[in-house]
């Protein structure tokens, strides 16, 4: 399908995007704060059905080919296909939103009945018998760790206010962790950093007594042409602010995953970096995917300078604190991580790179092992 290069139209498809006879593709098109879910007939590229939905929405074809499932933040909608008539809807207000993944919403279908299964953001597995009830099949009984929250805002160097959330466990350790989430997000706000059952990194750090500080760095729509620059300002300023708030004596580590790992690489290399150490988990090392056209300024001279300024490979030699990197060989790009490790080590700085040959982006197969190594690394940090 053709994608507008200047209209910032993002097309997303999920695991169940193909109709039964492969004649249609179900696509979510997002642009300027609105989204449309569309059924596109591929032989002539005609949109045969379209519905305006919220930005978190996605869709899927039912196995029998005569229905579509529209997945919204607050409800599920069962629609007939191809006319898109509303047949049934299920409110998620008393359940949980459907968890999103890199391949679309976490859901499945019964091939012999109008039944949908979905994984909620509360880590519960639910079965919706369309036209009847929705019942939990499996629920996560692990309790949230005990912690208190502090919310505040930090002014970044260009005047933008950055929301920050501090999660503080009882009897917290001296070392704290600033955790930079992946993205870039649709927007930087409280909702994007609120801890929950889906945020295993934060919860496990809290369980082991580490304070977790999370900045809601600016989102993609307010960061066009500034990826790896203005959002790095947000991260660094929040780190400096935390040091002032806590008297400057406690060590603060910087950890980031995916795009957050990319920001962590760059923030660690800043001259005013307040970090005692860094952890990069399945990090991006440069421009990628649909974000790439938005990454750099349009001016050729400015772009050439930005590609150096915002390159973790080019800036790795500026890092002056111990660094721990995790990657999955199945994702690719391990050569870049090896180069970053070499350039950090060339400055006499400790840098360990751990690559899992059987894993990819997210490293879902090795979370226990990763957490144990993170705890060991954090325990060795001193001011």
pTM for the complete prediction?
Answer: 0.74
**CATH classification (class only), 10-138:** mainly beta
pLDDT at 56: 60
Instruction: Decide if 10-138 and 148-379 have a common fold.
Output: no
**CATH classification (class only), 148-379:** alpha beta
Q: What is the pLDDT along the chain (383 residues), one digit of tens a residue?
A: 455 544 444 556 667 888 999 999 988 877 666 777 888 898 998 888 888 666 567 889 999 889 999 888 889 999 999 888 999 999 998 888 898 876 778 899 998 889 999 999 888 899 999 999 999 998 866 677 899 999 999 999 999 999 999 999 999 999 999 999 998 887 888 877 877 655 789 989 999 999 999 999 998 878 889 999 999 999 999 999 999 999 999 999 999 999 999 999 999 999 999 999 999 999 999 988 767 888 999 899 999 999 999 999 999 999 999 999 999 999 988 999 999 999 999 999 999 999 999 999 988 889 999 999 999 999 999 75
Q: Can you give the three-state secondary structure of the chain, one letter per residue? A: CCCCCCCCCEEECCCCCECCCCCEEEEEEEECCEEEEEEEECCCCEEEEEEEECCCCEEEECCCCCEEEEECCCEEEEEECCCCCEEEEEECCCCCCECEECCEECEEECCCCCEEEEEECCCCEEEEECCCCEEEEECCCCCCCCCEEEEEEEECCCCCEEEEEEEECCCCCCCEEEEECCCCCCCCCHHHHCCCCCCHHHHHHHHCCCEEEEECCCCHHHCCCCCCCHHHHHHHHHHHHHHHHCCCCCCEEEEEECHHHHHHHHHHCCCCCCCCEEEEECCCCCCCHHHHHHCCCCCHHHHHHHHHHCCHHHHHHHCCCCEEEEEEHHHCCHHHHHHHHHHHHCCCCCEEEEEECCCCCCCCCCHHHHHHHHHHHHHCCCC
pLDDT at 32: 64
pLDDT at 54: 62
In the chain, what are the domain boundaries?
10-138, 148-379
pLDDT at 53: 65
């Amino acid at each position: 399908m053709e994608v507008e290069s200047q209209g910032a139209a993002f097309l997303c498809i999920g695991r169940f995007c193909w109709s039964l006879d492969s004649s249609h593709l179900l696509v979510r098109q997002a642009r300027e704060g609105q989204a449309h879910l569309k059924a596109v007939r591929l032989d002539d590229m005609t949109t045969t059905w379209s519905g305006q939905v919220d930005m978190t929405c996605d869709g899927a074809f039912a196995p029998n080919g005569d229905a579509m499932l529209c997945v919204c933040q607050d409800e599920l909608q069962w629609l007939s296909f191809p006319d898109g008539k509303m047949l049934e809807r299920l409110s998620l207000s008393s359940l949980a939103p459907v968890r999103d993944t890199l391949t679309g919403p976490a859901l499945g279908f019964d091939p012999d009945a109008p039944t949908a299964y979905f994984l909620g953001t509360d880590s519960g597995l639910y079965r919706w018998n369309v036209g009847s009830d929705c019942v939990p099949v499996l629920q996560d009984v692990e309790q949230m760790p005990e912690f208190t929250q502090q919310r505040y805002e930090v002014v970044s160097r260009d005047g933008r206010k950055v929301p920050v959330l501090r999660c503080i466990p009882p009897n917290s350790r001296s070392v704290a962790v600033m955790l930079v989430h992946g993205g870039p997000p649709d927007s930087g706000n409280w909702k994007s950093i609120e801890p929950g059952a889906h945020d295993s990194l934060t919860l496990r750090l809290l369980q082991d007594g580490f304070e977790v500080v999370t900045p809601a760095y600016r989102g993609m729509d307010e960061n066009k042409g500034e990826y790896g620059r203005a959002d790095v300002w947000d991260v660094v300023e929040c780190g400096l602010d935390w040091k002032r708030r806590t008297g400057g004596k406690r060590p603060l580590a910087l950890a980031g995953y995916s795009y957050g790992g990319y920001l962590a690489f760059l923030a660690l290399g800043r001259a005013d970096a307040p970090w005692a150490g860094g952890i990069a988990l399945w990090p991006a090392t440069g421009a990628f995917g649909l974000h790439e056209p938005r990454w750099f300024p349009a001016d050729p001279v400015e772009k050439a300078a930005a590609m150096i300024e915002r390159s973790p490979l080019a800036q790795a030699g500026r890092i002056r604190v111990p660094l721990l990197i995790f990657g999955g060989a199945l994702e690719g790009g391990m050569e870049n991580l090896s180069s970053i490790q070499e350039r950090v080590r060339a400055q006499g700085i400790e840098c360990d790179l751990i690559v899992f040959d059987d894993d990819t982006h997210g490293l879902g197969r090795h979370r226990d092992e990763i957490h144990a190594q993170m705890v060991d690394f954090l325990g060795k940090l001193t001011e």
